[in-house]
Amino acid sequence: MTDVQLEQFRKDTRAWLEENCPASMRSTFTSEDEIVWGGKKAKFANPDSKLWLDRMAERGWTAPTWPKEYGGGGLSKEENLILQSELKRINARQPLYSFGLWMLGPVLLEYANEDQKKRHLPPVIRGEIRWCQGYSEPGAGSDLAGLQTKCEDKGDHWLINGQKIWTSYANYADWCFCLVRTDTSVKHEGISFILIDMTSPGVETRPIKLISGASPFCETFFTDVKVPKENMVGRLNGGWEIAKRLLQYERSNISGFGSGARTDVVDIAKQNVGLDEDGRLDDRDLRARIAEHKMFERAYALTAQRAAEEAKAGGNVSHITSMFKVAGATLNIERCELMVEAAGSRAFGWAGEGYSPDELAVTRGWLRSKGNSIEGGTTEVNLNVVAKRVLGLRDTQ
């Protein structure tokens, strides 16, 4: 595409966004309730959220680079960069948060057959179906390939029995993309990737309350669940390759996590520690550690930008996804710890009116951040991936 055409695309995009992005959608989220996850049980805290989602989905711009034939935007990388910069320019909210968009869709595009793509991609793009991920099991967390949930061939259907854990938002999901064991005689080669309708008889979910007081995760039980034959993606026993690819998408997502809290650690420190007559934080050690953290934050952002540019130039950067997952989790956990330290006793509230919503968010964000180095592959597992795939170090024999 020529520069002239791209410039025209920018002009058209800007005009369309001006006209179609509601004013209330041009601001940062103020609470998690305002985030739109879609699905049959979708909640819209603001009617404009629904309008904004529908308008963006109509153009396929919830999935800008997916092919048009499945309802995507069909944009080139260059056009998508322009779209993203125009969205950023007006501080537009992301119209849809979705595991279907971030994790399932990309692997369906790569591994699914035509019928599966036609059936499952458009509802994801429109935010009509919400997906959850059935990966971890009580006995198979970091050692994901040790999973036991059984999937038997019953001729005209699959029969599934077992338990999944850490299924994020399973209680709100319509469908689940799931790893199941189809051959018990081998480990990695006996796993298949299957799509399960959460309304199927025999599916049950229970929320798990975390130390932060929230319940983003569930336990999910499958008892004699019948799944149609056409719901297996890829070949029988070929699920591990799909699973790994999907984890790359997941890790690149989690690594980009924000702190959840809106306030900056420097502001919290200024407010609760105070400044000396030279304008320096009145706790030199904390000041130095915050400066070090700010440098880490900057280095991380610059590296993400560099990787994006290298990817755009055709370089393969998928191998450093695990590096970003580790660094992103470390960064967020460090930030949350510093905020709690800087806030002092103002970070020790749990509920009630003695603490501001921002202060409570610091406390809850800190507790939630502890999951960042566990979910989507622990920091230890991701360091193993970097050591083996990037640095070429071997396993013990």
Helix, strand and coil content of the chain, in percent to the nearest 5, comes to 50, 15, 35
Q: Which is nearer to other proteins, 20 or 379 (CB)?
A: 379
Q: How far apart are CA 133 and CA 176, in angstroms?
A: 6
Binding site for other proteins (CB under 8 A): 266, 269-270, 275, 279-281, 287-288, 290-292, 294-296, 298-300, 302-303, 305-306, 309-310, 313, 320, 323, 326-327, 380, 383-384, 386-388, 390-397
Tokens, residue 31: 């609470």
| Residue 103 CA neighbour count, 13 Å, CB half | 25
Burial (CB count within 10 angstroms: exposed 0-12, middle 13-18, buried 19+), residue 60: buried
Q: Which is nearer to other proteins, 224 or 282 (CB)?
A: 282
53 Cβ partners below 8 Å, 6+ apart? 36, 38, 62, 95, 96, 127
Catalytic-labelled residue, pool 86, 250, 359, 375 = 250
Report in angstroms how near the CB of residue 143 gets to other proteins at its nearest.
Answer: 14
Report in angstroms how near the CB of residue 385 gets to other proteins at its nearest.
Answer: 8
DSSP codes, 40-54: TT---SSHHHHHHHH
Angle at 95 between CA 200 and CA 171, to 5 degrees: 25
Q: Which is nearer to other proteins, 5 or 305 (CB)?
A: 305
DSSP codes, 25-36: GSS--SSGGG--
Report in angstroms how near the CB of residue 32 gets to other proteins at its nearest.
Answer: 29
Q: Is 19 a catalytic residue?
A: no
Q: Which is nearer to other proteins, 41 or 280 (CB)?
A: 280
Residues 131/100, Cβ–Cβ less than 8 Å: yes
Report in angstroms how near the CB of residue 156 gets to other proteins at its nearest.
Answer: 46
Report in angstroms how near the CB of residue 81 gets to other proteins at its nearest.
Answer: 13
Residues 325/334, Cβ–Cβ less than 8 Å: no
29 Cβ partners below 8 Å, 6+ apart? 35, 93
Q: Which is nearer to other proteins, 324 or 366 (CB)?
A: 324
The catalytic residue positions are 250
